């Protein structure tokens, strides 16, 4: 991962003394969130399936957060049946508390309906809906105790028509709906928000289930539909995730679906 340039984003120690659990923290947007949260003073729990990728992020977190940075590497599959309570318990054992949960783990399998595999639908619904539900539930006592918040990393695909990518879009639309409903259900104790990235340069584009030419055509179409004329960077999304985690600046913000998309949904 070479896209994280967190020094440029250090805003304050707005998350000092807080602890944040980030899923999908081994690459892309999740890694950038972990590093920026550490820059802002937070301890971080890094969750994902590949332990080596999490260790790479942990090394960057230690660099960003300085000597006092506390980081817990907790390999876990968000699709696992059960285990969310144990995972959250392990994070609290290591970090002492949880103030923020970032449901960022994601998988993109793009195909027209007629050729879409039902296993891919299962993977996207598990990763984007079931996993976040289990983790929010497991984190809830800690989040209530500290007046914490949840940030879901959704997608503009959950808000736009997505021909050829309808199942991905549907899974993210479900996450958007969950965000808004839980924001009302859990207020005023716990805030629940989502960021909706447009196209962001991450390893996600290496494994979409498409062949090379189809991936190239997809990327060209995304670029053409993005008024700012380029893909975003993981840091540009992580900045807003960390802003929504900030209990002071975002104290009155809940239920928001925030596009961070280079104008794609404008």
Total of chain residues touching ligand NAP, rule CB under 6 A: 28
Verify binding: residue 247, ligand NAP, rule CB under 6 A: no
Classify residue 106 by its DSSP letter: -
Cα radius of gyration (the chain): 17
- How many alpha carbons lie under 13 Å from residue 57 in its C-beta half-sphere? 31
Question: Closest by alpha carbon to 79, among 33, 23, 25?
Answer: 23
**Pattern of binders to ligand NAP over 110-129, x per CB under 6 A?**
-----------------x--
Kindly state the smallest distance separating residue 40's Cβ from ligand NAP, in Å: 19
Q: Which of 41, 199, 259, 262 binds ligand NAP (CB under 6 A)?
A: 199
In whole angstroms, what is the distance from residue 263 CA to residue 186 CA?
30
Contact 46, 26 (CB under 8 A): yes
Kindly state the smallest distance separating residue 13's Cβ from ligand NAP, in Å: 25
For residues 24 and 41, which CB has a smaller minimum distance to ligand NAP in the complex? Answer: 24
**Pattern of binders to ligand NAP over 68-107, x per CB under 6 A?**
---------xxx------------------------xxxx
Contact 154, 176 (CB under 8 A): yes
Residue 188: cis peptide before it, omega within 30 degrees of 0 = yes
Q: Which residues of the shown chain bind ligand NAP in the complex (CB under 6 A)?
A: 23-24, 26-30, 48-50, 53, 77-79, 104-108, 127, 153, 155, 197, 199-200, 202-204
């Amino acid at each position: 991962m070479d896209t994280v340039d967190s020094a440029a984003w250090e805003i304050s120690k707005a998350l000092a003394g807080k602890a944040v659990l980030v899923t999908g923290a081994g690459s892309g947007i999740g890694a950038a969130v972990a590093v920026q949260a550490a820059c802002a003073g937070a301890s971080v729990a890094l969750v994902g399936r590949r332990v080596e990728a999490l260790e790479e992020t942990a090394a960057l977190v230690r660099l960003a957060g300085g000597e006092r940075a506390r980081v817990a590497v907790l390999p876990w599959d968000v699709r696992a049946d059960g285990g969310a309570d144990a995972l959250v318990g392990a994070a609290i054992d290591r970090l002492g508390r949880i103030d923020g949960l970032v449901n960022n783990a994601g998988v993109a399998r793009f195909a027209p309906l007629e050729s879409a595999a039902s296993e891919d639908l299962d993977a996207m619904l598990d990763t984007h809906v079931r996993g976040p539900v289990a983790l929010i539930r497991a984190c809830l006592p800690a989040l209530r105790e500290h007046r914490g918040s949840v940030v879901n990393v959704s997608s503009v695909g959950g808000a736009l028509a997505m021909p050829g990518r309808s199942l991905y879009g549907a899974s993210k639309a479900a996450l958007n709906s969950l965000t808004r409903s839980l924001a009302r259900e859990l207020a005023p104790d716990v805030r629940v928000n989502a960021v909706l990235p447009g196209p962001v340069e991450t390893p996600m584009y290496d494994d979409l289930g498409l062949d090379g030419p189809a991936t190239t055509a997809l990327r060209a179409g995304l670029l053409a539909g993005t008024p700012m004329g380029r893909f975003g960077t993981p840091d540009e999304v992580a900045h807003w995730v960390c802003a929504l985690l900030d209990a002071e600046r975002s104290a009155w913000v809940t239920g928001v679906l925030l596009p961070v998309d280079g104008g794609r949904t404008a």
